[in-house]
Amino acid sequence: MTEKVLGVILGGGQGSRLAPLTQTRSKPAVPIAGKYRLVDIPISNCINSGIHRMFVLTQFNSASLNKHIKNTYYFSPFSSAFVDILAAEQTPENPTWFQGTADAVRQTMHHLLNHEFEYVLILSGDQLYQMDFNEMVNAHIESGVQITLATIPVNAKDAPSFGILKANEENIITSFIEKPKTELLVDWSSDTGPEMQAEGRDYLASMGIYIFNRELLIKIFSENEHEKDFGKEIIPRMLNTYDVLSYQYEGYWTDIGNISSFFEANLGLTDDIPKFNLFDSNHSIFTRARMLPPSKILGTTLDKTIIAEGCILQAESIKHSVIGIRARIGTGTSIKSCYIMGSDKYQTLIEIAEEVADHKPLIGIGDRCEIENAIIDKNCRIGNDVKIIGGSHLSDRDHEWYTVKDGIVVVKKGAVIPDGTVI
């Protein structure tokens, strides 16, 4: 049935909670796992599920996201498959930018309706998960409903961060509350199943993944043009009029909402058996094909580390870390619990000689550095004998070169950290 489904991936808003990683790029364009972008996750899930027609709706800092999609997702000219970008556009009928998730789909609906489809699958561009949408689509069709909402069991600690719902024995949603206070949770527990309850995951949270029947979505937008958001406005109102199905998903899923969740999701990939499996051939993650050389490692002790292509590593040790494409790390340097994003290009031998002569740090990480609990964004130049130690001893702050959030030091894209700097 996936040939009747059109995928719509929301590019997100300003992503201020993920700053400074979103200072020059949108959330879906943020690099993850050393070689991918966040938007590769929902696109790959669609492709693996047989959904080959997708629109990505973009607005803020969208240049790098647009470039990545253009350079990555192109299909046979004899295929109907596509991943197209729909940027926010001002028109005589609508002079405003996207005002929310539902408003973004509403404003681009005239483009969607140029295609044949019966169901719209609406996804977020900044979540990490591996999901077979076939099962969700089949559950939607078999139930006879016109709206399906993907849900996931969460614990009491996480529940106040989500829209929480309750469903009956037929999995039809009966009530919904947006980000309930902790004292209200006693009335919102659900029968999530023995396995989930054993883990303390007693509350059903919205994943921000929806299926709408085509005609209903048209009707919703024509009737209530003031509603801007699916989770806060449209879904709660629909519960009073339509049966809305809860499709419970129990696999790994995380919303990359802030620096802490982003950091933990990346370092979690280095676990012996990670919750998000990059090595599952049935759930491949697709991204831009780069013609990079294999990584070269010279005298480095490695432990629980993922290394992308094209790196030159001379570090003393790298532990519990993710090393991104084209990363360069100098001799005597130790890296622990870090995400090093790498760089967009190699420096030529002439450039290296000139910068060494001018006593300028090269792109990458210099010699005899000590870096722990940090995210080093792309194209940074970290000099020799630099010490960056994140942890609870650091208070949140924003500096010209770096930001500290929840004890994690985030060195900003393209920052230059002079020799001997201590953070």
Q: What's the pLDDT band for 15 if we cut at 50, 70, 90?
A: low
Span 2-270: which CATH code? 3.90.550.10
Distance (Å, whole) CA 419 – CA 174: 60
Specify the pLDDT at position 351. 92
Contact 382, 366 (CB under 8 A): yes
Rounded to 5 degrees, φ, ψ at 31 are -65, 140
Distance (Å, whole) CA 316 – CA 310: 19
Domain limits, the chain:
2-270, 290-417
Q: What's the pLDDT band for 92 if we cut at 50, 70, 90?
A: low
Distance (Å, whole) CA 202 – CA 211: 24
* CATH classification number, 290-417, choose in 1.10.8.870, 3.40.50.720, 3.30.360.10, 2.160.10.10: 2.160.10.10
The answer, yes or no, to whether residue 61 has pLDDT greater than 80, is no
Write the pLDDT tens digit of every residue in 133-191: 999 999 999 999 999 999 999 998 888 988 899 999 899 999 898 888 888 888 898 88
Q: Which of 78-87, 131-140, 401-410 has the lowest mean pLDDT?
A: 78-87
Write the pLDDT tens digit of every residue in 32-59: 999 999 999 999 999 999 999 999 988 7
Write the pLDDT tens digit of every residue in 268-319: 999 999 999 999 888 899 999 999 999 999 999 999 999 999 999 999 999 9
Percent of the chain with pLDDT over 90: 59
Q: Tell me the β-bridge partners of 227.
A: none
Tokens of 227: 């509603």
Question: What is the dihedral sign for C-alpha 27, 30, 32, 38?
Answer: positive
Domains 2-270 and 290-417 share a fold: no
Is the peptide bond preceding residue 20 cis, with omega within 30 degrees of 0? yes
